[in-house]
C-alpha cells in the first residue's frame, strides 16, 4: 500500500484508511458486545492490516462506544501492534439522552466534554494515547479558546499527538487556527462519486444552471493550501456507488454503478477499486476511509492502490455522478 504524509506531521500513513464505525455491531446501546461481534471486528481489522492499512478511524459515539471497545481486542491478537498503527478518534457529538434523560442530540466542543471524551476513548480502546483527535461536527457554540485549552492539556499529557477536524468549512478551520498552537492535520469530509459537493462547487460557482446553494466554498482548496489531509468518509455512499440502488432511485447512481462496473471489467479489478481509485486520483491526495465490515470488500477496495485512471475516465465518472454535463 502506498503511503501519504498526514498533514504537516511526519507520519507516513496508508493512503487508504479503515473506518471502524460498523465494527461494534449495532447502534442500540443496550445490545452487548457479543463474542460474534468481537470476532467479526478482529477479522475486519486483520483484513485491513493484511492489505497494508495502518490507519484506523474511530469516534467516541460509534455504536455507543462499542466500536472502540471491539477494536481493543486486536492488541492481544497481533503483538506489538500499537506503535505500528495510527489510531484516530473523534469527539464533539453528544447523543440524545447520553448525559441526562431529556437531553437532545447536540454538539459540544467545551473543555470538559473534549477531555472527558478522550479519557473515555482511551479507556475503551485500551491505549495510552490517540495519534489523532478530530472535532467531529462543527459546534455553533464553539469557543475556540476552550478548544485550545483542552488540546494543550491533551497534548502536554501525551494523550493526543495531533489534532484535526471533520465536516468543517474553510472559515471554521480558519477560526480554530487563530487560537490553536497545534496545526490542523486533517479534515474528514463526505466525498464520493455520489456525494460531489466539495468538488462540484468550484465548477457551479457563479452559474445559473444548476441552481444550487453552495456553502463552505473552497474547503478542498483551503486544505491543500494549508497542508490539511482530506479524509473522504462514505467513499462508497453506503454501497450505492457499486449497486446503483438509492432511495429514492436516482439515475446518477445507476449510471455511476454501470460505468464503474464497465471500467472494473475492462481493467480486471473490482468495482470497489474503481470507486476508490476515483477518489485517490484527486490531486488533494484524499485518504478514503473504508466503511465496509466485510473482509472480502476491504480486500476488493484496496485493489485501488494499483489502479490508475486517465483524465477521461475520471471525468466520465464525475459527469455521471453529478447527473449533468459540465457547464
Ligand atoms: N466524520 C464523519 O462525520 C463520518 C460519518 C460517517 C462515517 N465516517 C467514517 O467513515 C467510515 C466510512 O463511512 P461509511 O461507512 O459511510 O462508508 P461507505 O463505504 O460508503 O459505506 C459502508 C457501508 O456500505 C456497505 N457496503 C459497502 N460496499 C457495499 C457493496 N458493494 N454492496 C452493498 N453494501 C456495501 C457496507 O456494508 P458491509 O459492512 O456489509 O459491507 C457498510 O454498511 C466510517 O467507518 C467512519 O469511520 C465519518
Which tops the pLDDT comparison, 212 or 151?
Answer: 151
Task: Check whether 213 has a pLDDT greater than 80.
Answer: no
Give the model's pLDDT for residue 221: 96
CA-nearest residue for atom 4, ligand 1, is 233
Q: What is the mean pLDDT of the chain?
A: 95
Give the DSSP H/E element, type plus range, for residue 120.
helix 111-125
With 0-12 CB in 10 A as exposed, 13-18 as middle and 19+ as buried, what is 2? exposed
Give the model's pLDDT for residue 102: 82
- What separation in Å is there between the alpha carbon of 151 and the centre of ligand 1? 29
Give the model's pLDDT for residue 180: 98
Q: pLDDT per residue over 245-259, tens digit each? A: 999 999 999 999 999
- What separation in Å is there between the alpha carbon of 170 and the centre of ligand 1? 25
- What separation in Å is there between the alpha carbon of 87 and the centre of ligand 1? 18
Give the model's pLDDT for residue 210: 60
Which residues have C-beta atoms less than 6 Å from ligand 1? 19-22, 57, 166-167, 188, 233-239, 242-243, 289-294, 297
- What is the rounded CA–CA span in Å between residue 91 and residue 154? 13
Mean pLDDT value of segment 302-316: 98
Q: What are phi and psi of 17, to 5 degrees?
A: -115, 165
* Residue appearing with cell numbers 453506503: 238
What are the residue ranges of helices labelled H in the chain? 35-50, 66-71, 74-77, 111-125, 144-156, 170-179, 197-204, 219-225, 240-243, 251-267, 271-280, 295-302, 311-322
The residue whose CB lies within 8 Å of the most ligand 1 atoms, and thus the one to mutate among 17, 19, 196, is: 19
The percentage of residues in the chain with a pLDDT greater than 90, rounded to a whole number, is: 90
* Residue appearing with cell numbers 468481537: 38
Give the model's pLDDT for residue 199: 92
CA-nearest residue for atom 29, ligand 1, is 239
Mean pLDDT value of segment 230-244: 98
Residue 140: HSE in the Cβ half-sphere, 13 Å Cα cutoff: 1
Out of 62, 100, 129, 315, pick the active-site residue: 62
Q: Is 62 a catalytic residue?
A: yes
The residue whose CB lies within 8 Å of the most ligand 1 atoms, and thus the one to mutate among 190, 237, 239, is: 239
pLDDT band at 267 (very low <50, low <70, confident <90, very high): very high
Q: pLDDT per residue over 155-211, tens digit each? A: 999 999 999 999 999 999 999 999 999 999 999 999 999 999 999 887 777 666 665
Q: pLDDT per residue over 195-205, tens digit each? A: 999 998 877 77
Give the model's pLDDT for residue 96: 87
Angle, vertex CA 189, rays to CA 186 and CA 193, nearest 5: 130
Q: pLDDT per residue over 20-47, tens digit each? A: 999 999 999 899 999 999 999 999 999 9
**What cell numbers appear for 158 in the block?**
501525551
Q: pLDDT per residue over 85-127, tens digit each? A: 999 999 999 998 887 778 888 999 999 999 999 999 999 999 9
Among 226, 253, 280, smallest CA distance to 4 is for 280
User: Looking at beta carbons, which pairs linking 246-251 to residues 24 or more positions away fall under 8 Å?
Assistant: 246/194, 250/194, 250/323, 251/323
The Cβ of residue 23 has, within 10 Å, a number of other Cβ atoms equal to 28
pLDDT band at 217 (very low <50, low <70, confident <90, very high): confident
The residue whose CB lies within 8 Å of the most ligand 1 atoms, and thus the one to mutate among 291, 293, 298, 321, is: 291
Amino acid at each position: 500500500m502506498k503511503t501519504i504524509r498526514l498533514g504537516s506531521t511526519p507520519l507516513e500513513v496508508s493512503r487508504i484508511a479503515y473506518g471502524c464505525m460498523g465494527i461494534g455491531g449495532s447502534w442500540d446501546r443496550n445490545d452487548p458486545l457479543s463474542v460474534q461481534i468481537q470476532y467479526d471486528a478482529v477479522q475486519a481489522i486483520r483484513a485491513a492490516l493484511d492489505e497494508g492499512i495502518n490507519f484506523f478511524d474511530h469516534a467516541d459515539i460509534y455504536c455507543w462506544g462499542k466500536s472502540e471497545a471491539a477494536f481493543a481486542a486486536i492488541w492481544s491478537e497481533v503483538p506489538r501492534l500499537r506503535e505500528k498503527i495510527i489510531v484516530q478518534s473523534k469527539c464533539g457529538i453528544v447523543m440524545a439522552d447520553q448525559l441526562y434523560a431529556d437531553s437532545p442530540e447536540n454538539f459540544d466542543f467545551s473543555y470538559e466534554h473534549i477531555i472527558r471524551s478522550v479519557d473515555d476513548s482511551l479507556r475503551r480502546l485500551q491505549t495510552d494515547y490517540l495519534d489523532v483527535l478530530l472535532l467531529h461536527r462543527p459546534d455553533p457554540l464553539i469557543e475556540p479558546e476552550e478548544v485550545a485549552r483542552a488540546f494543550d492539556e491533551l497534548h502536554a499529557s501525551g494523550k493526543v499527538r495531533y489534532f484535526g477536524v471533520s465536516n468543517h468549512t474553510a472559515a471554521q478551520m480558519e477560526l480554530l487556527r487563530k487560537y490553536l498552537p497545534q496545526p490542523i492535520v486533517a479534515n474528514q469530509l463526505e466525498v464520493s462519486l455520489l456525494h460531489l459537493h466539495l468538488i462540484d462547487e468550484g465548477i457551479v460557482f457563479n452559474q445559473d444552471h444548476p441552481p444550487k446553494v453552495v456553502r463552505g466554498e473552497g474547503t478542498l482548496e483551503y486544505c491543500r493550501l494549508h497542508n490539511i489531509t482530506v479524509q473522504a468518509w462514505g467513499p462508497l455512499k453506503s454501497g450505492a456507488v457499486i449497486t446503483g440502488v438509492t432511495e429514492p432511485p436516482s439515475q446518477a447512481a445507476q449510471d455511476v454503478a454501470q460505468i464503474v462496473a464497465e471500467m472494473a471489467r475492462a481493467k480486471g479489478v473490482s468495482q470497489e477499486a474503481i470507486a476508490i481509485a476515483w477518489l485517490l486520483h484527486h490531486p488533494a491526495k484524499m485518504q478514503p476511509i473504508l466503511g465496509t465490515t466485510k473482509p472480502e470488500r476491504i480486500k476488493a477496495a484496496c485493489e485501488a492502490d494499483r489502479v490508475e485512471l486517465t483524465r477521461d475516465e475520471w471525468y466520465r465518472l464525475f459527469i455521471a455522478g453529478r447527473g449533468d454535463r459540465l457547464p
